[in-house]
Amino acid sequence: MNESDKKTRALSAKALLAAFDLKPKKSKGQNFLADPATALACVNRADLSPDDVVLEIGPGLGALTIPMSDVVKQVIAVEWDSNLVRVLTHQVESMDIKNVEILNQDILKTDIREIAVRAGSNLVVMANLPYNISSQVLIRLIQSRELFKKAALMFQTELAQRIMAEPGNKDYGRITVLAQYTSQIRVLYSLGPAHFHPKPKVDSQVLEFRFKKPDPAVDEDILFAVVKAAFSKRRKTLKNALSNGELPLTGELAQTALGQAGIDPMRRAETLSVDEFVVLSQAVASVMP
Ligand code: SAM
């Protein structure tokens, strides 16, 4: 890389947007990592290996993409906004980077399985997620978790707290149980609004997910349906919540399943541990007509 390339690489988000005469789109969660030093620190914290292929969701101006391309085998970057694809393509080409593939697509419509087949066994997901789609993206990743080695995802701190919540906490909910059942999760780091351009109103946190292998003794469709039913009426007792129509259970069958699982039917969803949800789903499977 020559000196002028290095300078381009080190441009802040603000300077890059100005150079390409672009304005961030609020509706697409476009809060870019403001400076290259922070982006580099984020990449270092992700502990990536030379064999990894990264699926990056929402690369934006390439703050993470470009430093990642130095340390991994390949980056496959999925960006919805064609203007940003233009900037990123220019950046990658001007730095003569050969291991970045840019797909101008909506991640919610992307065939992740096809990317995984091309990537082989070391697919890692990295995403500074647009906040409006972060739950949906996480659920999609969980549903195809056998494809990934790990994921490092940035969330609004409020959602990160819901994902990491303990039973009995007001933040404990459906997304908590889905995430904790399927993954080993840890906080990698936190970033305040000053690290972004434009500054968001909220703090952000990056969580690392190491996905667990599915347990053959658990029917996940039933487990996830039980969790959905239980939390869709979180103020109701479990007996009422489980027989409210999400599942083919009468009040009597719900009571039997709860009895079999050793769970008091008067308890509420937010008090059940992840393990109790698993036992309950097995009991529900055994009484379902
Ligand atoms: N990774 C960059 C960074 O850290 O500076 C940008 C992060 S910004 C919070 C989110 C990015 O996701 C934006 O570039 C936005 O255009 C993109 N995006 C939003 N919705 C998307 C979608 N459905 N599919 C793919 N990318 C999307």
- Output the DSSP codes for 15-45: HHHHHTT----GGGT--EE--HHHHHHHHHH
Residue ranges per structural domain of the chain: 3-211, 220-287
- Provide the pLDDT confidence category of residue 3 given band limits of 50, 70 and 90: very low
- pLDDT score for 244: 86
**Nearest C-alpha to atom 19 of ligand 1 is from which residue?**
28
Contact 287, 268 (CB under 8 A): no
Q: How far apart are CA 127 and CA 87, in angstroms?
A: 18
Q: Report which of 100, 63, 211 is spatially closest to residue 151, judged by C-alpha positions.
A: 211
Amino acid at 245: G
For 127-158, how does the pLDDT look when each residue is reduced to its tens digit (9 = 90+)? 998 888 999 999 999 999 999 999 999 999 99
**Nearest C-alpha to atom 18 of ligand 1 is from which residue?**
58
- pLDDT score for 238: 96
User: In Å, what is the CA distance from 229 to each residue of 4, 106, 181, 253?
Assistant: 58, 30, 17, 14
At 75, is the secondary structure helix, strand, or coil? strand
Q: Is the dihedral of CA 58, 61, 65, 67 positive or negative?
A: negative
Pocket residue to mutate for ligand 1, from 25, 57, 155, most atoms within 8 A of Cβ:
57
Q: What is the distance in A from the centroid of ligand 1 to the CA of 252?
A: 48
Assigned CATH for 220-287: 1.10.8.100
Assigned CATH for 3-211: 3.40.50.150
Q: Name the average pLDDT for the chain.
A: 93
The ligand 1 site (C-beta within 6 Å) comprises 28-33, 57-61, 63-64, 78-81, 84, 106-108, 128, 130, 133
Q: What is the distance in A from the centroid of ligand 1 to the CA of 53?
A: 19
Residue with tokens 């390409």: 20
Q: How far apart are CA 220 and CA 6, in angstroms?
A: 49
Q: For the chain, percent helix, then strand, then coil, each to nearest 5?
A: 50, 15, 35
Mean pLDDT of 151-176: 96
- Residue 289 pLDDT > 90, yes or no? no
At 203, is the secondary structure helix, strand, or coil? coil
- pLDDT score for 10: 65
- Residue 6 pLDDT > 70, yes or no? no
Predicted model pTM: 0.92
Residue 263 vs residue 6, higher pLDDT? 263
Q: How far apart are CA 242 and CA 232, in angstroms?
A: 9
Q: What is the distance in A from the centroid of ligand 1 to the CA of 80?
A: 7
- Provide the pLDDT confidence category of residue 9 given band limits of 50, 70 and 90: low
- Residue 1 pLDDT > 60, yes or no? no
Structure tokens at 224: 């996830």
Return the ligand 1 atom nearest residue 154 CA: 9
- Residue 27 pLDDT > 60, yes or no? yes
Contact 187, 209 (CB under 8 A): no
3-211 and 220-287 in the same fold = no
- pLDDT score for 7: 41
User: In Å, what is the CA distance from 134 to each residue of 130, 140, 288?
Assistant: 6, 10, 33
- pLDDT score for 234: 79
Q: What is the distance in A from the centroid of ligand 1 to the CA of 267?
A: 40
For 198-257, how does the pLDDT look when each residue is reduced to its tens digit (9 = 90+)? 999 999 999 999 999 999 999 999 999 999 999 998 789 999 999 988 899 999 999 999
